[in-house]
Amino acid sequence: MSAPNISLTLYYHPECPFVHRVLTTLRELSLPFDTVFVDLDVPRSADYLAINPRGTVPALKFSSPDFRNGKETILTESLAIIYFLGNLFPNHLLPAAPSAGVVTAVARTSIFFFINAWENKITPLFDKVYMASFGDEKEAKEVEDMVVGAIEKEIDPLLKRQDEDGGGAFLGGREKFTMAEVVAAPVILRLFAFCDGGLLPRSFKANLLALPNFGKWASELVRNESLLRGWDEAGFVSGSRTKLQEFKEGKFRPKICTQ
């Protein structure tokens, strides 16, 4: 089945990992889309607040002759958006068989179980990771221990190969990204950039990569073409360094992307 007749416009900010989830999904599915930049450093315009009263990103505007006679519809929250996109037509992000059955149900459930664990146990910790990049060595080490411990306990076992898995690098031994990778990849990419750029201890990345299942998975994860397209690691690290200096001078207050 081909992609549906649909027009997509993404409201975004390039630094937001939750926007990055949507961008990665759109690229994995080869869906055409337009973008509108939303400046998170200034009060939101009335036009954008009419689209998303919370003023956060991402937001996705879509229209299709197959729904509400082409009337524009707005979706917010990254998980809702990527699930919507992933269900537009059969694709590798949400594996499906020609007819529903046990194998399909298990495959999709494993993806949703992973996402649930990541969102509830790991994503909340990345606010602390971001803030630790503005803190001292002691704070950074405490956050490192917390995050590595949580991933070792909650995520690493979910990536252990099962007898029925394929030989690929991703969840379930798949050769391509699933929704599980889409959800986790943007924050892992940013965490590794912080470590490589000296904003967090290099041991943070090393200890994550040393985990038996997560390490191999994450190493492949951050090489994905859809994830890396448009990603400016040097600019991200440089901008973060500037914000760190401004923070020390009392000119910048860290803001958390919350979607």
Task: State the CATH number of the domain containing residue 216.
Answer: 1.20.1050
126 occurs within a structural domain: yes
Q: What is the number of other CB atoms lying within 10 angstroms of the CB of residue 259?
A: 20
CA neighbours within 13 Å on the CB side: how many for 240? 25
Domain range for 161 is 102-248
Same domain, yes or no, for 22 and 138? no
What pLDDT does 206 receive?
A: 98
Q: Answer yes or no: do 121 and 209 share one domain.
A: yes
Residue 170 DSSP class: B
Identify the residue whose tokens are 């519809």: 73
Is residue 2 a part of any domain in this protein?
no
Question: Do 64 and 126 share a structural domain?
Answer: no
Residues 126 and 225 in one domain: yes
Q: Are residues 77 and 169 in the same domain?
A: no
Residues 81 and 155 in one domain: no
Count of H-run helices and E-run strands, the chain: 11, 4
Q: Which residues pair with 35 in a beta bridge?
A: 10
Averaged over successive runs of 10 residues, the pLDDT of the chain (259 residues) comes to: 87 96 98 96 93 96 96 98 96 78 90 98 90 80 96 98 93 97 98 94 97 98 98 92 73 57
- Whether 79 and 183 map to the same domain: the answer is no
Neighbours of 132 (CB within 10 A): 25
Q: Is residue 177 in a domain?
A: yes
Nearest CA to 140 out of 95, 79, 205 is that of: 205
- Is position 160 within any domain? yes
User: Total structural domains in the chain?
Assistant: 2
Q: Write out the H or E segment, with its range, that includes residue 192.
A: helix 179-196
- Asked if the structure places residue 258 within a domain, the reply is no
Beta strand pairing call for 59-63 and 34-37: unpaired
- Model confidence, pTM: 0.93
CATH number of the domain to which 53 belongs: 3.40.30.10
Domain-ending residue, one of 55, 86, 117: 86
In this structure, the answer to whether residues 205 and 114 fall within a common structural domain is: yes
d(CA 215, CA 168): 14
- Is residue 185 within 8 Å of residue 224, measured between CB atoms? yes
Q: Which runs of consecutive H residues, i.e. helices, occur in 29-77? A: 46-51
Please indicate, yes or no, if residue 1 is contained in any of the structural domains. Answer: no
The alpha-carbon radius of gyration of the chain (Å, integer) is 19
User: Does a cis peptide bond (omega within 30 degrees of 0) precede residue 201?
Assistant: no
Q: How far is CA 226 from CA 31, 175, 230, in A?
A: 12, 14, 9
Tell me how far apart the alpha carbons of residues 110 and 115 are, in angstroms, rounded to a whole number.
Answer: 9
pLDDT of residue 249: 65
Asked if residue 95 belongs to a domain, the reply is: no
> Pick from 86, 110, 134: which residue ends a domain?
86
197: phi then psi, degrees, rounded to nearest 5 = -90, 0
253: in domain = no
